[in-house]
Structure 1
Amino acid sequence: MKIRRFFGKDMRDALNQVKEELGSDAVIMSNKKLADGVEIVAAYDKEPVKKSVIGTTAARSASPQQDNKPKSSPSLSEIIGDSGPDSLKALLEKQAKSAQESSPVSSSKDESNTSQTSSIASHHDMGEIKAELASLRNVLQFQVNGLLKQQQRNAHPMQSYLTDSLEGMGISPELARQVVSFTPADCSEREAWVFLLKLLANRLKTNQNDILTQAGVVALMGPTGTGKTTTIAKLAARYAQQHGSDKVALITTDGYRIAAYEQLATYGKIIGCPVKKAINAEQLDEVLYQFRNRQLILLDTAGFGQRDIRLIKQLDTFKQTSCATIKSYLVLQANAQRQVMQQTIKLYDDISLQGCIFTKLDECYSLGEMVSVAIENNLPISYLTDGQKVPEDIRNAEVKYMISTAARMYKKYGLTPMTSRHVEQASVAV
């Protein structure tokens, strides 16, 4: 097998040269475009038949560059290197063998990559489909609930109106539906509203001033900012007015808040009762022993957030105390969201709560949340506070006052003018 190069002004000219020089059995190995024409590399096995001198001269004149080339044609070994095969057949066999050896690996890699890509795409598509189906299900569920609610409103318009009114007052939807279900069917709107307020009043529990009448060791607990320290000062001042300052003592377990002890100590100095600080269970036992002759001992605890791990440590401190039985009361803000109150109460499930104290009633626009949380958790209410004055701004929790105040607030802040008159009359009736 021999190799020849041919140069022409275009592809047709170069091919004609190949055909004239090597015949129709020549094999075109490659072609390349040059600046002044085209180069073709052709291979042949047999020596071509010599053409006439005229034909050869014409062929050479058609390609001026050919005159500068050596007369001897380079072999395939010279083109691709000394180690390469010297025949086209050997070259093709070598290339085929190399392709066959690399084919299984490449094919396997390609199949593996294709499989992985398909798997990832399939997983991604499936996740999107599931998310879309879940979204559609939520939308359909919302529409179905709306249709059912509208159907119920059409079937029982009075009950739907009363339920909406209780929810507007701050009562939870579950409790509102529950009490409305007991409403007599043949009563008017005003009679039904009075009935519902009385039903709520019957389910609301109070402690009847138990802290000041029963005395003992009392701890006020609750989140930060609920007014525990001020409430303790109000209770201590009330008790000192009735029984003397030598019958009451104050203890703080708040070692985290800046000036927590100083604030309580200032109240103690004004009231005329001693104030001590106890950080752990051992110190608390010791201080309680020192105050064993006091009739009322009030403990001011540190206020922590609901997710603060230090709260658990504080609760464990009270469980470990063995010197006296501590009665625990939860202090909550009446103007807090119902969900916040509910979560706070659950946080103190491990503590046997005697009752709760609601503060900041003067900052409220609704009291239904307070009433609803107390009823649903079966938690008695002991006291209500509505200001910062010590000891004036504290009162015993009374059911009639709480329900009537909740109804008046609903009339003032949450009602349309058309129905406000009925609620005002109903709140007076309770």
Structure 2
Amino acid sequence: MKIRRFYGKDMRDVLKQVKDELGGDAVIMSNKKHADGIEIIAAYDKEPESSTQELPKKQAKSVGSQPSKTPTLSEIIGDTGPDSLKALLEKQAKSALNESTTQIQVEQSNSPATVRKPEPVRQNTADQSALKEMRQELSSLRNILQFQVSGLLEQENNRKHPLHSYLVQKLLQMGISNSLAEEVVAYAPESADERQAWLFLLKLLANRLQTKQDDILSQPGVVALMGPTGTGKTTTVAKLAAQAAQKYGPDQVAVVTIDNYRIGAFEQIATYGKIIGCSVKKAQNANDLSDLLYQFRNKRLVLIDTAGFGQKDARLIKQLDTIKQKSCVNIRKYLVMQANCQYRVMQQTVKEYRQISLQGCILTKLDECYSLGEAISVAIENQLQVCYLTNGQKVPEDIQAADTKFLITSAARLYKKFGLIHTDTNNIKNAAVAV
């Protein structure tokens, strides 16, 4: 068996060279991409009889008489070899099978006294490596083609509906998820101009966003704030406790922490409790939590500060189970999320904490946001009610009840300030005009 290398600008050109010079019995061993084109290594058993082949006269005559049809690879190249990569691979496997069978027969004929069992036929390492590389290249080409086709479809859609495409891009730059942006833009009126359509979309987002007005402070009972580490749960508990103490009196408010993992967690909330004047206790387990909730049964508001864990931390499940065990006390659970988190992070957070019933969510650190579309998208897509917003570290000033108009206006303002490519920090004036 002899080896030859062929070079060409693309796969069709190189395959044509292989078939022209080596014939249809040549086996493709490997193929590689280069800056100038494609390199193929082919193997053959014997010298090709001729470098070129002519079409049969009968076939040439029938071309003019029959209706035109899409030519196959063999017709284009001028050979009767396999027309597809699948056929080429089958031919290569068949050749390897015949070669292995011949070798077994030779070994059996050389030793007649010994009866050997035929060994399973296996492709050699070079063949397997070549097949693997070809499959990888085909997979890569398929992904590229799919990307190109999707790009062509998007260009066609942009040509037919330029206003809709422009509005989708604006929503994406504002932080709205792609699926939600496509959904709301579909309702935009075709006859409206750019500004009217933009105002229509903002109003539609406001209608889709659900909020609760001062739900925790207005209703008595037990409230647990839950969420990943670093979201500001302890500070939010202190803000709510301080506002409740101002409204109903310090003796009507109590705080319980079940954060037994973070160093200084109890000392931090206890310091807030001394300043506010309310009771602060620590629960080591589910039984302690049950006893404390019974002890504070006459309080108007009991706030539970939970430990912060990552979504993949096994201790999160243990904490959720502790809350579930006390479901008979009717604990209202609220998810605390950073408004400046990535969209996927917030989606995964909601998914993990959906194991328990959530009454709503609290968005923190609005003062650190460069866009609010991600948080708005997560709240709308998960039908999660937003109850409170925090925008600083001051206790108890930097917290307010969630308002739909304020959230959408803030998202549009941040988009106008940071999302637009042409925005210049020296020329930002009247950012609130976005709504």
Fold conserved (TM > 0.5)? yes
Aligned position for 2:253: 248
- Partners of 1:303 and 1:105 lie apart in 2 by 77
Query: Is residue 205–residue 378 contact of structure 1 (8 Å, CA) maintained in 2?
Result: yes
Q: 1:126 to 1:285 in 2, by over 3 A?
A: same
Give the alignment partner of residue 401 of structure 1, picking from 383, 397, 406: 406
1:189 is aligned to: 194
Q: How does 1:151-230 map to 2 (within 5 A)?
A: 151-230=156-235
1:289 equivalent in structure 2: 294
1:303 is aligned to 2:322:
no
For 2:423 and 2:307, the matched residues in 1 are separated by 47
More off after superposition, 339-348 vs 124-133 = 124-133
> How many residue pairs get matched?
327
Kindly indicate whether the alpha-carbon contact (under 8 Å) linking 2:347 and 2:378 is maintained by their aligned counterparts in 1.
yes
Structure 1's unaligned 5+ residue stretches are 1-98
Q: Equivalent of 2:277, from 239, 252, 272?
A: 272
CA spacing shift, 1:277–1:105, aligned 2, 3 Å: farther
CA contact (8 A) 2:371 2:414 kept: yes
Larger Rg over CA atoms = 1
Aligned to 1:360: 365
Equivalent in 321, 329, 334 of residue 334 of structure 2 = 329
DSSP 3-state at the match of 1:254: coil
Supply the AA of the counterpart residue of 2:294. Answer: Y
Counterpart residue number, 1:36: none
RMSD: 2.6
Distance 2:311 2:413 in 1: 32
Percent identical? 61
TM-score, normalised relative to structure 2: 0.71
Q: Determine the C-alpha separation between the residues in 1 that align with 2:114 and 2:178.
A: 66
- Alignment of 1:376 with 2:381, yes or no, is yes
Aligned 8 A contact 1:220 1:331 in 2: yes
What's 1:130 paired with? 135
Is the 8 Å Cα contact of residues 365 and 391 (structure 2) preserved in structure 1?
yes
Shift of 1:129: 2.8
Report the residue type matching 2:251 in the other structure: D
One of 361, 384, 392 as aligned partner of 1:387:
392
Find the partner of 1:258 among 256, 259, 263.
Answer: 263
Deviation of 1:283 after TM superposition, in Å, equals 1.2
Amino acid at match of 1:378: Q
**How far does the alpha carbon of each residue in 1:252-311 deviate from its partner, in whole angstroms, 9 at most, with x for none?**
011111111111111111111111111221111111001111010000000001100110
Q: Summarize deviations over 1:17-39 as a string: whole Å, max 9, x none.
A: xxxxxxxxxxxxxxxxxxxxxxx
Contact 1:222 1:332 in 2 (8 A): yes
Aligned residues of 1:408 and 1:424 also touching (Cα < 8 A) = no
Q: 1:348 to 1:361 in 2, by over 3 A?
A: same
Return closer, same or farther for 1:131/1:417 CA change in 2, 3 Å cut-off.
closer
Determine if contact 2:389/2:400 at 8 Å carries over to the other structure. yes
- Given that residues 206 and 380 in structure 1 are in contact (C-alpha distance below 8 angstroms), is that contact kept between their aligned partners in structure 2? yes
Query: Comparing 217-226 with 129-138, which one deviates more in the overlay?
Result: 129-138
CA–CA separation in structure 2 for the residues paired with 1:405 and 1:154: 32
TM-score after normalising by structure 1: 0.71
Deviation at 1:316? 0.6
> Structure 1 stretch 226-235 or stretch 268-277: which is displaced more?
268-277
Q: In structure 2, the residue corresponding to 1:357 is in which secondary structure?
A: strand
SS of the residue corresponding to residue 384 of structure 1 reads: strand
Q: Secondary structure of 2:363's partner?
A: strand
Change (3 A) 1:346 1:418: closer
Answer yes or no: is 1:235 the counterpart of 2:237.
no
